[in-house]
Amino acid sequence: MPEEGVPLTPRADLLTTEEILTLARLFVKEGVDKIRLTGGEPLIRPDVVDIVARLHQLEGLRTVGITTNGISLARLLPPLQKAGLSAINISLDTLVPAKFEFIVRRKGFHKVMEGIHKAIELGYSPVKVNCVVMRGLNEEELLDFVALTEGLPLDVRFIEYMPFDGNKWNFKKMVSYKEMLDTIQQHWPELEKLPEEESSTAKAFKIPGFRGRVSFITSMSEHFCGTCNRLRITADGNLKVCLFGNSEVSLRDHLRAGASEEEVLSIIGAAVGRKKRQHAELFLMLQDSPPAILNVLRGSLCAQGLRHRVSSSSQRVTLRKGCRVPQTPLLTQRWLGSGFPQRHFSSHPDSDANPKCLSPEPRAPATPSGPLPTSDQLTHVDTEGRAAMVDVGSKPDTERVAVASAVVFLGPVAFKLVQQNQLKKGDALVVAQLAGIQAAKLTSQLIPLCHHVALSHVQVRLELDSTRHAVVIQASCRARGPTGVEMEALTSAAVAALTLYDMCKAVSRDIVLGEIKLDSKTGGQRGDFHRT
């Protein structure tokens, strides 16, 4: 729970019981065989038992599940079981009561444990326990959680820490599946892998002789997008085809507007047809700039900067179909309206003081801002003309900053698709921005004689230039060390430009990459440089 809490959705915006059941009937009719009520916290909804009972009556629905924080579970589970609840997931990130209170911002650890034991007592097997593992918070409890499975029929599911609004995500807090597995195998080398179920999101393991098992949900390090068959409906009625996607379609609004069953199914099919191929590796690119990841998740881009919609729904319905959902033609109608404002993107959470990411004024030729001594010979060759890396061991560490830019001339067709975010490959600006950040960090692996530089900051900004049907890219890099970061900035801008080409090449091959140049550099013995 964020320290400041979350804003609650007005009750009038939430799906009514009848709306939930209407949508559930539609999905089950189309082949969905599992529905899970999740959240937020679904057990705070007063009609939750009635919803479970009526879902259970739907012909063709095999499983009705729930994901809960467990605090009210012991009290509500008997009537829920009677209503037809068949599967339980309980969120529990620590076995230390004081730490539990810090994480969830309330007391209740013993109530959660009581709920787990009540579920076992009532015959649920396995009872799934979801544990999000965070470095510096609970990774030292891995073995304690695994030990629970020795005497209890639990499926402890370790989940890689993922970025969502409000959780102040940082790459360095993420403990990967491989690292968790290695920690457990050092203590229990006999740990054995279990066969994976079709469309499962978890990798399951078991220690011989233990009643329960452990699983890993590897959303970040080894995504399972290719076999994902989940759809999600938020408590306020928005359909999400991907948990990480920022696009939502309001089914509630169409129901309340009197849409027919066929119209709603058409809308759902079109949304599923736009489901992206994958998501996870994008997040791993930003370990040095966590705020950028949150900005990626926060929604559509507009000329006023990053517009974001916080999902504050207290309950979410997850629907799973027994087989992969079919691909359908792209929806021609855009849910964000018919107007398409100029789009900008920045990896840095800019203030509102400068909503335009890049200055639109034309650039004049370069002029040095001070003494800029240049060498009369190439520095990356030795006396015999062979390639050689410069020895920077004797140079002092100074603060180095460099800014580079590039322009991608898309042409009118590709430009319009990028502007309207209608490329089949996805959001070209977001992908290019992420590629630019990653490229800056990998420069020494791409350019043979570049030194490895520990960058302290990378920022990539993009702006659509409608007069030239172009995207203007600006990349800036900062580090403290004995060598400059010009190559990192130039590589960042160039790779961002190449990525835009790759995203748009199916639409047009008449795309030109140009004006790749160093705009400025500061720090180092050769003085500062500014292209003014």
Return the residue matching tokens 């020895």: 391
Q: How far apart are CA 62 and CA 86, in angstroms?
A: 9
Chain-centroid distance, C-alpha 209: 37
Cis peptide before 40 (omega within 30 of 0): yes
SS3 318: strand
Give whole-number Cα distances, 203 to 25, 129, 200, 229, in Å: 31, 14, 8, 16
Q: How far apart are CA 12 and CA 292, in angstroms?
A: 33
Give whole-number Cα distances, 446 to 33, 247, 248, 475, 516, in Å: 48, 35, 38, 17, 17
Task: State the DSSP code for 528.
Answer: -
Active site residue 93: no
Catalytic hit among 33, 350, 465, 502: 502
SS3 124: coil
Task: State the DSSP code for 3.
Answer: T
Beta bridge partners of 206: 192
Scanning 140-260, the segments in alpha helix (DSSP H) are 142-151, 177-187, 251-256
Q: How far apart are CA 530 and CA 532, in angstroms?
A: 6
* DSSP element (H, E) containing 493: helix 486-504
Scanning 247-376, the segments in alpha helix (DSSP H) are 251-256, 261-273, 281-284, 290-297
Contact between 290 and 296 (Cβ < 8 Å): no
Q: CA angle, 72 as apex, 70 and 74 as ends, to 5°?
A: 85
Q: How far apart are CA 423 and CA 436, in angstroms?
A: 19
Scanning 225-379, the segments in alpha helix (DSSP H) are 251-256, 261-273, 281-284, 290-297
Strand order in the sheet with 63-68: 192-193, 203-206, 213-217, 154-160, 127-133, 87-91, 63-68, 32-39, 315-321, 230-234, 238-240, 249-250
Contact between 267 and 251 (Cβ < 8 Å): yes
Burial code of 70-107, b = ≥16 C-beta within 10 A, e = fewer?
A: bbbbbebbeebbebbbbebbbbbbbbeeeebeebbeee
Contact between 158 and 144 (Cβ < 8 Å): no
Q: Could you list the active site residues? A: 502
